[in-house]
Structure 1
Amino acid sequence: MAPTTIPGADPFADPDHISDNTEYEEGSTLPVGRDASLTLATDSLIVLDEDFTRRRTRNCCGLLPSKSKTTQAIPFFNVLWAELSDFDITIQYAKPTSKNVVRVASVNYLVEKPQQGYAKAWVSKLLDRAYGESQRNKRIKVLINPFGGRGGAQKWFLRDIEPIFAAARCDFHVERTLYQGHAVEIAEKLDTDAYDVIAACSGDGVPHEVFNGLGRKQNAAKALSQIAVVQLPCGTGNAMSLNLNGTDSTSLAALCVVKGIRTPLDLVSITQGNRRTLSFLSQSVGIVAEVDLGTEHIRWMGSARFTYGFLVRLLRKTVYPCDLAVKIDLPTKGTIIEHYSKEFDNHAPIEDRRGSFDLSRPGLPELKYGDITSPLPSDFTPVAGSKMGNFYAGNMPLMAPGANFFPATLPSDGHLDLVTIDGDISRTSAIKSFLAVENGNFFNMPHVHYRKISGYRITPRGQKNGYISIDGERVPFEEFQAEVHRGLGTVLTRSGHMYEADGVLPRPA
């Protein structure tokens, strides 16, 4: 998946490219030597150096002359740090070396003594532009799943992530998870006053564990609002990074974490039996859950196993009957589009995008609708489920690269997006549904029932064994209830209020 750009800048642009329409502010240029200068432009740092021409006047073994620019543009998003030391100014930045890889690079120049005071103020202005709303010098607890990405997580951290964190002057501490559930224990015991971010070098499983570990703390609501949970994509499922950062590249994700803006995130309480867990991504019963969890035996096929499993079940017209009752908030696609459009420009303060939680109350917020053992809430509406083919509730748009099942999701609108599809639709409609997920037409298909909800109860019927997936993790095949908590969690996003995946409306210019 190609990285998505934010309005007003292309943070992953070629730093050697400069627009002819670049605008400059008065007093934004710092002379550095006889033939060079550094200028703060609209969205980039412009490095002008006559030596660029002299250094690049030859190519092809130095035999042929070549045209060369005297300028280099470094998007502010890519600037990691800048400092003035004695008479040297050093600027470190993330330089693209390919479409999906950045590496730490630097520019260094001498500053004349009369320019020292001005240079100090200029560096301060550069860092203001580079970080904007984002916190500098983040304190990061890094959790590495050594089994993630078929054992590549440790290597990717050392090669792609650690240099960017170090160049950005982040204070980070690394710990490796040793077994399933270890991240729950680490997060539960973590001193949340000592860190700003927990970064999981893993797939989506470790962030799931981290949210639940924070949810076990005595001051769970405060901890979840205080510390941001992010993913550095080092697993086979990297939906969190795709949605928050617009990429599943480890180096680009590291840059996005450095520059990420604190954003509230809806979390979902799942009660099943006597257990209460938190979900940040999705819950599924039916075809998606079975494809996700029931194809482990063909992992050798890679991501193609999902395609294969999906098509096999579609063509069989597999049905997963259930009893379903839902707290419906927005029942039609028209009302959903209207709701989504209002969020384009919603830059309200972060606390205004959270629910009203009693931070003095121990543990997680009280359940408004009770748990799975409580009587069915009176405002839950029964939904026909005897022919259910797919029950899929999502809190983020992308479940995998190109798989935009929930294009109307928002980080903290207090709703889950629910998709239900009958299992007895025609094979032609089923295949069209499968293809529509990638081409962006899934939301508009007439047999795709799409609602925004804030709670539900589902009870599988007619099967003794089956698959239920919570954030990609298998849970017992039995009834459960879900309830949304608006903005209970915290993540880092590039915009501060929206996901990076395409939505039901075009992004504003």
Structure 2
Amino acid sequence: MGSRSFFPLKGPSIEMDKTVITINPQTTIRVADILRVDLDKDGKESSTVRILHYPLIKERRSRKEVSIDLAPEEAKELHEAIKKSISFKRPPHRPRNSSKRLLVIVNPFSGQQKARDLWRDEAERVLSDGQWLCEVVETTHPGHAVEIAKTIDLDKYAGILVNSGDGLVSEVFTGLLLRRDRERALKLPIGHLPGGTSNALAAAICFASNESFSPRYGFMREAAVMAARPTYRPLRLFKAEVEGSGRVPMFMSTTWGLIADIDIESERFRWAGMIRLHIEAILIIAQLPTTCKYRARISYIPVGDKELIRKTMLKYNAVRHLFGKKHFNFEPVEEYTGESQPSGHYSSMAEALSASSAPCSTAPKLPPLDQPITSSAFTVVEGEYVMANLTSLSHLGSDLPYLPSSKLDEDDIFFLTLIDWSLIKHRLQIGTLMITIDGSRHLDYACFQVIPVRACRIEPLDGCGGNVAVDGEPKGKGKAFQVEALPMSATVIAREEVKR
């Protein structure tokens, strides 16, 4: 997993700025990749600076150890400069305990039951290299992570690492939202270690940070390096209200129709890992149009920003400057500065979300789902759709760059995406569209529509059915639902944008 290099005293002088250490013209070390530095005082004439870093080599993070032999004063100066540059920065929830301690929540049944092995073989050593203390807890039942997040001592940990898929991440956010001190609790950094099947949040964070990752072969080590040298980014949270299920938080998507059908119905093939989604997709698409022909009324507040609309057509591998100079910038998470908040938690999610009913902008707030929409700000359409989705992340899975222009912290804007049957030439077009999502080429299809919105309600008509899922969790078939932003964000672990 690692290698060592040694540079003697007789070599050229070392140069260091805020981003790079230059040992010689052929050897440089990015400061952001360094997890640890030590100083060995070998004698009166020389000392050795030992640097442990994880550079990108062939698009993967690799463990490297570098030893530099210098005169004692030069070695001391270099050691202190590096140590200062990589020093632990206090997380925004401001724990009283300043130690580098993380709680790691592992779902042992996630990702074909490989999450535990991925932690042991890939992530644990990285965090140890970064001198983090990790307390590991394995979940034993559904909702266990909700219980953990509801009761975690905010002063004991610098963050939570979730080693599982997106479902366990959702549980953690749910637990934090249920706390009465959630203004502070939501500043507790959450890192997603991609130990599940889809791992959409981990992929979206990597993409936003320009971090290389392999969706098909895993990127546990890359996510662990982020956790070891963290930057804290805001993640906008949303409120989904689903007929029969009430109000629930959303951080990724609410899907209806084809994508939800594939995700939920493919559970019978869970033993196959990510391939299960492809198996189910083939079975459903082969039956079109007798499947996935859903009639609905869709009401939404559109965002008429031409530049935003232009960017929705950009693919994941587009040159990054095409997204705009500041597209991937983010505002740092503000530190919690309030006084002690009440302890305990809300009795239900309905109560918790009702306590934060203020909308994020001046756009009219959605009425309760059982009440009609009367505001003229809404555009209303009816039609037959293969699917209708409301999404807020760039990825729907680690290998599904669904809408690369989506940002983690896009204030109160999210995206309505539709496949309209009236624009489909033949059923095979849907099949080819679906198999091109891994390259974002689905954005080229005229039948695939992307609409930036501030609020949206989708009402299936005529008992047409179709699975509904919030962040991948099933909520029934043919249920009406609506989404709008919450006036709050969670905090996720990322890294400064990687310059490549």
Q: Is the pair's TM-score, using the shorter chain for normalization, greater than 0.5? A: yes
SS of 2:294's equivalent? Answer: coil
**Distance 1:71-1:441 versus aligned 2 partners, 3 A rule:** closer
**CA separation of 1:256 and 1:421: change in aligned 2, threshold 3 A:** same
Give the corresponding residue for 2:316: none
Task: Answer yes or no: is the 8 Å Cα contact 2:358–2:487 preserved in 1.
Answer: no
1:341 matched to 2:336? The reply is no
The residue aligned with 2:65 is 106
- Given the superposition, is the C-alpha separation of residues 134 and 107 from structure 1 closer, same or farther in structure 2, using an over 3 Å criterion? farther
1:410 aligns with 2:386: no
**Structure 1 gaps, min length 5:** 1-11, 17-30, 49-69, 501-507
TM-score norm. by structure 1 comes to 0.76
Distance change (3 Å), C-alpha of 1:403 and 1:274: closer
Q: CA deviation at 1:329?
A: 2.1
SS in 2 for 1:482: strand
1:119 equivalent in structure 2: 75
Q: Cα offset for 1:86?
A: 4.9
Q: Which residue of 2 aligns with 1:384?
A: 381
Q: Greater relative contact order (Cα 8 A, min sep 6): structure 1 or 2?
A: 2
Unaligned runs of 5+ in 2: 43-47, 92-97, 313-321, 347-351, 360-364
Deviates more, 1:365-374 or 1:164-173: 365-374
Aligned length: 446
Correspondence list, 1:323-362, <5 A: 323-330=297-304, 335-337=309-311, 341=324, 343-344=326-327, 346-351=329-334
C-alpha contact 2:235 2:492 (8 A) present in aligned 1? yes
User: What are the residue-to-residue correspondences of 1:359-508 with 2, within 5 Å?
Assistant: 363-364=352-353, 365-368=356-359, 369=365, 370-376=367-373, 378=375, 381-414=378-411, 415-424=413-422, 425-427=424-426, 428-463=428-463, 466-477=466-477, 478-485=479-486, 488-495=489-496
Pick from 268, 292, 298 the counterpart of residue 263 of structure 2. 292
Distance 1:80 1:458 in 2: 47
Is the CA contact (8 Å cut-off) linking 1:380 and 1:456 kept in structure 2?
no
> 2:294 pairs with 307, 311, 320, which one?
320
Cα separation, 2, equivalents of 1:207 and 1:429 = 34
Change in CA separation of 1:166 and 1:301 when aligned onto 2, cut-off 3 Å: closer
User: Structure 1: which amino acid aligns with 2:66?
Assistant: V
C-alpha distance in structure 2 between counterparts of 1:484 and 1:296, whole Å: 29
Note closer, same or farther for the CA distance 1:340–1:176 as it changes in structure 2 (3 Å cut).
same
Match of 1:253 in 2: 223
The 2-side partners of 1:345 and 1:298 are apart by: 37
TM-score for the superposition, normalised by structure 2 = 0.77
Shift of 1:323: 2.6
1:283 pairs with 239, 254, 273, which one? 254
CA contact (8 A) 2:165 2:197 kept: yes
The 3 A distance-change label for structure 1 pair 198 and 133 is: closer
The alpha-carbon deviation at position 110 of structure 1 amounts to 5.9
Mapped contact 1:319–1:422 kept (Cα < 8 A): no
Q: How do 1:37-436 residues align onto structure 2 when only pairs under 5 Å count?
A: 38-40=14-16, 43-47=19-23, 72-84=27-39, 86-87=41-42, 89-94=49-54, 100=60, 102-103=62-63, 105-108=64-67, 112=71, 115-116=72-73, 118-130=74-86, 138-224=100-186, 226-245=187-206, 246=211, 247=213, 248-272=218-242, 273=244, 275-314=246-285, 316-317=288-289, 318-330=292-304, 335-337=309-311, 341=324, 343-344=326-327, 346-351=329-334, 363-364=352-353, 365-368=356-359, 369=365, 370-376=367-373, 378=375, 381-414=378-411, 415-424=413-422, 425-427=424-426, 428-436=428-436
> Cα deviations across residues 170-190 of structure 1 (Å, max 9, x unaligned)?
233221111111001100111
Q: CA RMSD for the aligned pairs?
A: 3.9
Worse overlay, 83-92 or 388-397: 83-92
Over 3 Å counting, the alpha-carbon distance change for 1:138 and 1:452 in structure 2 is farther
Distance 1:107 1:335, change over 3 A: closer
1:309 Cα deviation from its structure 2 partner: 3.2
The aligned amino acid for 2:417 is: V
Q: In 2 relative to 1, CA 345–438 (structure 1 residues): closer, same or farther, beyond 3 Å? A: closer
Q: Call closer, same or farther: CA 1:447–1:13 in 2, change over 3 Å.
A: farther
Distance of aligned partners of 1:346 and 1:299 in 2 relative to their CA distance in 1, 3 Å threshold = closer
> What do residues 239-286 of structure 1 show as CA deviations (whole Å, max 9, x unaligned)?
111111242411121012222311111111122346332111111000
Structure-2 separation of matches of 1:381 and 1:301: 43
Q: Retained in 1: the 8 A contact 2:202–2:398?
A: no
**SS of 1:284 mapped into structure 2:** strand
SS of alignment partner, residue 443 of structure 1: helix
Equivalent residue letter for 2:381: A
1:438-476: CA deviations, max 9, x gaps? 343333433222111122222222337541111111123
